[in-house]
Structures are given as structure tokens and as C-alpha cells.
Amino acid sequence: MPTFLTHSAEETQAVARDLAEDLKAGDVLLLSGNLGAGKTVFVRGLAEGLGLDPGEVSSPTFTLVHEYRGGRLTLYHADLYRVEQAAAGDLGLEEMGVEDGVLAIEWPDRLAYGISGAMRVVIDAVDDHARRIVVGA
């Protein structure tokens, strides 16, 4: 599986930016990794690669899903950290019609169900600034 070793947030963002070029409508990315691993940084890179403003991306606090429009594809960003177990209805994904865009989910282990065809991205902190990123099925 493609593995990357990065040494700064900028490098992690760049990995995701490059990956975003290959994304198509309906793609789902499941972003795993500990607190502070760099999942949100990764989503900023996805935003950049899709032609969106990476500075707009923050962790959704009061809404589970943020929506960024105006790029090559709409980016949906879910952070399920505060969710005990998310059911499909709770997320409102169907209502949002996420098939028209790319959905990136932080803390996907909170989901009560699997998402078939989703791409897994696992980020591990090697030390303060080094991260190992494994991108795979």
C-alpha cells in the first residue's frame, strides 16, 4: 500500500493534495489516527487539491459534517470524535447527497456501519513532527 513519511503539517497537506487529484464523485475516505495525528491537516490537503481554500477547513464542532463547495468536487468533512455511535440518519449523509462529492471522515470507527468501497487512510505519529501515512483499501 502507498506509504508516505512526512516531517511537517505542510508535507502531510501536500500528500493529500496530490491524492485529491485522483478522487471522483462518491469517493469516501476514512481517516484514522490518534488525537493530533494530522487527520484535519490531511483534509486541508484534500481541500487544496480540489481547488478549495484549505484555510476554511476546521474540525466540525456543532455540526457533524461540514460542506465545502466551489471546487472541482464538493468536499464533505465529518468528524465523529464526539459521537458515541453514529447511525446513518444521525449523519444526514443521505439528505446531503454526498454522492456528488468526496466525503472524508475522521474517527470512522464511531460509525455503526461500514461504508463499502471506502478508502482507508491511517496516520501514525512517529515523533513530534514525523507522520507515517498509509493509504489503502
Ligand X SMILES: Nc1ncnc2c1ncn2[C@@H]1O[C@H](COP(=O)(O)OP(=O)(O)OP(=O)(O)O)[C@@H](O)[C@H]1O
| Angle (nearest 5°) at CA 118 between 101 and 51 | 35
Chosen residue from 25, 51, 59, 92 binding ligand X by CB under 6 A: 59
33 contact choice in Mg ion, ligand X, none (CB below 5 to 8 Å, kind-dependent) = ligand X
6 contact choice in ligand X, Mg ion, none (CB below 5 to 8 Å, kind-dependent) = ligand X
Give the integer Cα–Cα distance in Å for 63 and 66. 7
Chosen residue from 36, 70, 92, 136 binding ligand X by CB under 6 A: 36
How many CA atoms within 13 Å lie on the side-chain side of 6?
20
Contact 115, 28 (CB under 8 A): yes
Quote the least distance from Cβ 97 to ligand X, whole Å: 25
Encoded amino acid at 11, one letter: E
Chosen residue from 25, 87, 129, 136 binding ligand X by CB under 6 A: 129
Encoded amino acid at 108, one letter: P
Stretch that binds ligand X, among 3-11, 69-77, 97-105, 113-121 (CB under 6 A): 3-11
